[in-house]
Chains A and B, each alone.
Chain A
Amino acid sequence: MKKLSGDKINYADLIKWIFALLIIVLIVLKFTGNRVSNADFKDVKKAVEKTVKDDDTVLDGDNVMVKRLYGIDPADYDGIMLKYPSTNMNVNEVFLVKLKDVKQQDQILEAVEKRLETQKNNFENYGTNQYSILKKSVTDVQGNYIMFVVNEKTDPIVKAFEKSLK
């Protein structure tokens, strides 16, 4: 490193601020991506439930159903809501989880992936309509919240979910 004094540029100072800029960019990206939300689970659940309240193709799932369909223990998480298909011919579903720690993201994403795979296998050969709905499913990861939605119109549900986290 060249030693400089007086009014000459000090390259170490300059490079330092380039690193600072990269750190700021990384932080901004983190803020827009994976931010942990302090929103109360009850409020988020309420906001999401509102969007599916008239949907008679889904039923409320209890802890046993969560274990059965997703293979996870609800006690390991801060909050879980499941709306599962009311009949074998429906695929509409909403699965909302508040994580205790963002490190749990992988477990939930794996469980969701398995669930989606199972449903796709169930409908691949005879339920064209259901299969196309499954293909439109959305898994929305927002830091400590994850929502999995299978619906013809996922947009309003996702918007309500994301809005409730702010």
Chain B
Amino acid sequence: MGFNSLVFIFILLPFALLVYKYIPKQWHNIFLLILSLFFYAWGSAPALIMILLSVGFNFFAARGIGQHIESGDKRTARIQLIASVAFDVALLAVYKYTGLDMPLGISFYSFSVMSCLFDVYYGKTSAQVEFFDFFLYVMFFPKIISGPIVKWEDFRAQVHNHAVTRDGFLQGFELFLAGFFKKALLADKLGVTLASLLARPQQTVGLAWIGVFVYSFELYLDFSGYSDMAIGLARMFGFSFKKNFDYPYTSESVSVFWRRWHISLGAWFRDYVYIPLGGSRCNRGTQIRNLMIVWVLTGIWHGSTLNYLIWGLYHGSLVLLDKFVIGERLQKVPRRLRILLTDAAVFIGWVFFFRTGIGDAFAHIGRLFGIGAAGFWSRATTFSLTENLILLIIAALCCSPWMKNMHAKLTYKKDGAAMYISVALYVILFVFGVAGILGSTWTSFMYANF
């Protein structure tokens, strides 16, 4: 059951919110845990056994590390940390690279549990990890399937200190609706469009570029839509998570792009891999090595095929280029042009995601520049563009802050009528979103497959 399913939207969520509102506060976390277990089991009951064992393993790992730290035995704590993290990584690798049916959300919850081990070891949080808090942290239903990868120290600070306020609830609901709109109305439609574009026999340069644009918008709207829904849901239950996307397609460089795309994953690699390796406080050679390690890991985190490894190396190289070679010179280039160049580099990289084989990916990239393409443009290309133009324009607007700013400008004036317009807009988005999922087959979120 995804957040975009009718059962979730019309049955589970209203039921959960109602129960949550009327049960005593001391029961809130227990209810959230039961709800989360039910949500996970609905999606994949057999995988529940694996995640429960993983919770057991990592809870005792965290307790053990905490006890060694408290008793001043840092060396044993370090050995236990390395052994436990190695076990978690090996488990993730076994699932990702051997073809076994992956437990739902394993890429995300594995990183969550490792964050707890690191936070305890580095003393970012108390060495004493409570079982119930940890269990809820791993299972918490808004984030378990596809993140955001909330760090243990951030979750722990809220687990006994979260309250539903009227403003918080409304902000969460608004975010949930916005995410639902992005997913159900835009991303799913773009997905259908992409499938038909890739199936066309005559792939011109124009068609190859349209495909790249369609997928780039789809991926952003799908994953940021999911993240909005997840963060919005958490907010509706009183938890506050940091944003996972910050309009990445308006970034002026690839380095900035990666501070705005899947922020929680980037922060995880920064805090638990890049900085412990020495980060930027070392010579240039070591910095380059550290960055490439992070990018190789980021690539293979996304999937087991060569495409993802090459995609990771591609982005690692772009970041190095930006940091050490052309970054300063690019500052002299007009801002809009820098954004365009960044988007072009990022969009080309996504080809490795939507073309399944490495040969297919390079063939598509070749076609973008005329190599192996069936001409530059054709009547079918014009048809494909005009048929999807409105969808592409709306998608592009939703990838920028323009839509949000315009909505804020139009509706958050002081007079009451504007507020009613805002509410009406959200109701319309919701109705169209529901109509969208009723009129098509249910599709899972793209990042749930990584």
| Contact residues on A (Cβ < 8 Å of other chain), bracket | 20 to 34
Q: CA A34 – CA B72 in complex, angstroms?
A: 46
Chain B residues 58-76 with CB under 8 Å of chain A are 60-61, 63-64, 67-68, 70-73, 76
Q: Tell yes or no: B91 within 8 A of A by CB.
A: yes
Stretch of B46-54, B178-186, B317-325 that contacts chain A: B46-54
Stretch of B93-101, B133-141, B222-230 that contacts chain A: B93-101
Total count of chain B residues near the partner, CB < 8 A: 26
Q: Tell yes or no: B369 within 8 A of A by CB.
A: no
Q: CA A12 – CA B73 in complex, angstroms?
A: 15
Are A13 and B49 interface neighbours, CB within 8 A? no
Partner of B99, one of A5, A13, A23, A35: A35
Q: Chain B residues with Cβ under 8 A from A20's Cβ?
A: 57, 87
Are A26 and B99 interface neighbours, CB within 8 A? no
Q: Chain A residues with Cβ under 8 A from B64's Cβ?
A: 10, 12-13, 16
Q: Chain B residues with Cβ under 8 A from A15's Cβ?
A: 56, 60
Are A12 and B63 interface neighbours, CB within 8 A? yes
Chain A residues 35-89 with CB under 8 Å of chain B are 35-38
Q: CA A151 – CA B87 in complex, angstroms?
A: 46
Say yes or no: A102-B53 contact (C-beta < 8 A), given A1-B63, A4-B67, A4-B71: no
Closest to B84 in A: A16
B98 to chain A, nearest CB (A): 8
Q: CA A35 – CA B94 in complex, angstroms?
A: 12
Contact with A along B85-117 (1 / 0, CB 8 A): 001000100100011110000000000000000
Are B100 and A19 interface neighbours, CB within 8 A? no
Are B99 and A38 interface neighbours, CB within 8 A? yes
Pairs of residues from A and B, 3 with the lowest C-beta to C-beta distance, nearest first? A5-B71, A12-B64, A16-B60
8 residue pairs A–B, Cβ–Cβ below 8 Å: A3-B67, A12-B64, A16-B60, A16-B84, A20-B87, A23-B54, A36-B99, A143-B101
- Given pairs A3-B70, A27-B100, A36-B101, 20 additional interface contacts (CB within 8 A): A4-B67, A5-B73, A10-B67, A10-B68, A12-B63, A12-B67, A13-B61, A15-B60, A16-B57, A16-B64, A19-B60, A23-B50, A23-B91, A26-B49, A30-B101, A31-B100, A34-B101, A35-B99, A36-B99, A37-B99
